Amino acid sequence: MTASTEGPGTPSRPGDSDALTMSREAMEELVRLVSTRIMERMEGLSADQPWRGADREALEPLLREPPPEEGRDPREVVERVVRDVLPVAARVDHPRFFAFVPSSATWPGVMADFLAAGFNTFQGTWLGSGGPSQLELVVVDWVREWLGYPEGAGGLFTSGGSAASLDALVVAREEAGAPERPVVYMGDQSHSALIRAARIVGVRPERIRRVSSDGRFRVRVDDLARMIREDREAGLTPVAICANAGATNTGAVDPLEELADLAAREGIWLHVDAAYGGFAVLTGRGRALLRGIERADSVALDAHKWLFQPFEAGCLMVKDVRRLERTFSIRPEYLQDIELGDQHVNFADRGLQLTRSFRALKVWMSIQTFGMKAFRGAVARGMELADRAEEFIRAAPDLELLSEASLGVVCFRVNPAGKSLDEAALEALNESAQDRVIAGGKAMMSSTRLNGVYSLRLCILNHTTTWDDVRETLEAVIEAGASM
């Protein structure tokens, strides 16, 4: 075993004094070990619990130590991480992980991250990465077509939806003339990432307007129009309207066409947060639900959610990509060599990051491998499973539906037939039912509040999840509720 006899830092070439290089044999051995451990995890996933947590007190003694002065056997380092660190976490790709937003990566996507790290791609300038930049242009153009955006639209891959929305609000602010007293509008169902983005671009917290929702958790456009009028009268300057295309709570989609009309009339930037639901446009049904998204000035998406990629894979699309580049392009002296002409996009000119990893590769590799048909089918299936969950909930005497299935999300609670419990009792009952299901290790789900009502929530978008997984989870909830 090369690794143990020569030590981790053994130079690959004799006479080389580099203590940070490994021999080819040691590297290959490590690759085999790592891939074996990943395979074991994948094969055992469904039988394993979907979540394992530990408190600080338990983890401190296990992991606290100064950095070692001398290196250790790299195999032991890997084994330790696989034993003590990585398993103490949510398995967000577990078929019965329905909490928050699950993520189930495809294997070619995982391999793409490995390749991109191994080739150490610097995806910031065309000079630094011509091939990868061309490929990112191609994948961005696929997303453009999926959204129904025109030719002049473009964008980039980002760490996630938060970064995509932040970049979008920077453009919106600049396009509004970087006003002194900016206001941003969003629904009460909008994601915290949008509030954070608005704060970062310099909008005071009291000028981040939250618009109330209708009975289906969609922004009330009349209220929004009135707020805009009042703010203008008060001397404030609207910078952006942020709409949901799949709110995290309920999967609700704001009335995008009406919002686009309002934004056009008022001359305000319309940003659509489609981090959750955006890739539903791949299906006919999702396309219909998200009609109007192509009229937005910008759209944030998350390929690590409904496009089955490993973290991190967000995407920002801007209808007029020149506006994006106008906002972010800066040419310091030390980058004077990178100017290769308009045709040669420097992705650093489209967002916050100069040094960027090659995120488009994972999307490209998994689509090349499986084809679009497979992706469309997987997205459609998430929606179908949520529909079936809704039917099941409606038919179960001890469950109450709190929001209809939308884009893979369904909200409900235990409400035992014939017991007529008050709200406080129902909340206590549901909290304990949820705790019990999680403690049972069978499934993982999270709760939320809908108009103040404590609600259980299933978010179903894992491509490996089956109806049995969903049904067994709902049955576990009923059982947990009945045993109290």
Ligand X SMILES: *Cc1c(COP(=O)(O)O)cnc(C)c1O
Give dist(CA 268, CA 240) in Å, integer. Answer: 6
Pairing of strands 409-414, 314-318: unpaired
Of positions 161, 182, 286, 351, contacts ligand X by CB under 6 A: 161
**Which part of the chain contacts ligand X (CB under 6 A), choosing from 121-129, 204-212, 268-276, 429-437?**
268-276
Going from the C-alpha of 58 to that of each of 54, 68, 163, 470, the distances in angstroms are: 6, 22, 33, 32
Nearer to ligand X, 216 or 229 (CB): 216
Neighbour order of strands in the sheet with 208-211 = 154-158, 314-318, 298-302, 269-274, 237-244, 182-187, 208-211
Strands, E assignment, 56-168: 154-158
- Give min distance, CB of 308 to ligand X, in A: 14
Evaluate whether 307 touches 375 at the Cβ level (below 8 Å): yes
Site for ligand X in 238-257 (CB under 6 A): 248
Contacts with ligand X, 29-68, as mask; x by CB under 6 A: ----------------------------------------
The yes or no reply on residue 275 touching ligand X (CB under 6 A) is yes
Helices 321-328 & 161-175, crossing angle to 10 degrees?
90
Residues near 33 by beta carbon (within 8 Å), at least 6 away in sequence: 75, 78, 79
Please say whether the beta carbons of 164 and 316 come within 8 A: yes
Of all residues in the shown chain, the one whose CB is closest to ligand X is 160
Q: How far is CA 13 from CA 21, 28, 289, in A?
A: 9, 16, 60
Rule CB under 6 A: which of 76-95 touch ligand X? none
Give the nearest distance from C-beta 6 to ligand X in angstroms. Answer: 42
In the bound complex, what is the minimum distance in angstroms from residue 252's beta carbon to ligand X?
10
Asked if residue 310 binds ligand X (CB under 6 A), the reply is no
Beta bridge partners of 213: 219
Q: How far is the CB of 408 from ligand X (least distance, A)?
A: 11
In the complex, minimum distance from the CB of residue 275 to ligand X, in angstroms, rounded to a whole number: 4
Q: How far apart are CA 243 and CA 168, in angstroms?
A: 13
Binding ligand X (rule: CB under 6 A), the pick from 8, 50, 310, 314 is 314
For ligand X, the binding residues in 277-306 under the rule CB under 6 A are: 302
**Of 3, 110, 116, 193, which lies in the binding site for ligand X, with binding defined by CB under 6 A?**
193
If binding means CB under 6 A, how many residues of this protein chain bind ligand X?
12
SS3 content of the chain, % helix, strand, coil (to 5): 50, 15, 35
Give the shortest CB-99-to-ligand X separation in angstroms. Answer: 13
- The three-class DSSP label of residue 276 is coil
Contact with ligand X (CB under 6 A): which of 91, 173, 191, 359? 191
Q: Is 167 in the site for ligand X (CB under 6 A)?
A: no
Cβ nearer to ligand X, comparing 276 with 347 = 276
Q: Alpha carbon of 171 to those of 100, 166, 241, 307, 374: distances in Å? A: 29, 9, 13, 26, 35
Q: Is 390 in the site for ligand X (CB under 6 A)?
A: no
- Does 457 participate in binding ligand X (rule CB under 6 A)? no
Measured between alpha carbons, how far is 279 from 308 in angstroms, rounded to an integer?
10
Listed ranges 17-25, 65-73, 127-135, 159-167: which one lies at the site for ligand X (CB under 6 A)? 159-167
* Residue 155 lies near ligand X (rule: CB under 6 A): no
Q: Which of 254, 273, 297, 427 binds ligand X (CB under 6 A)?
A: 273
Q: Among 3, 22, 92, 101, which residue sits at the site for ligand X (rule: CB under 6 A)?
A: 101
Tokens of 222: 């009349």
Binding region for ligand X (CB under 6 A) = 101, 160-162, 191, 193, 248, 273, 275-276, 302, 314
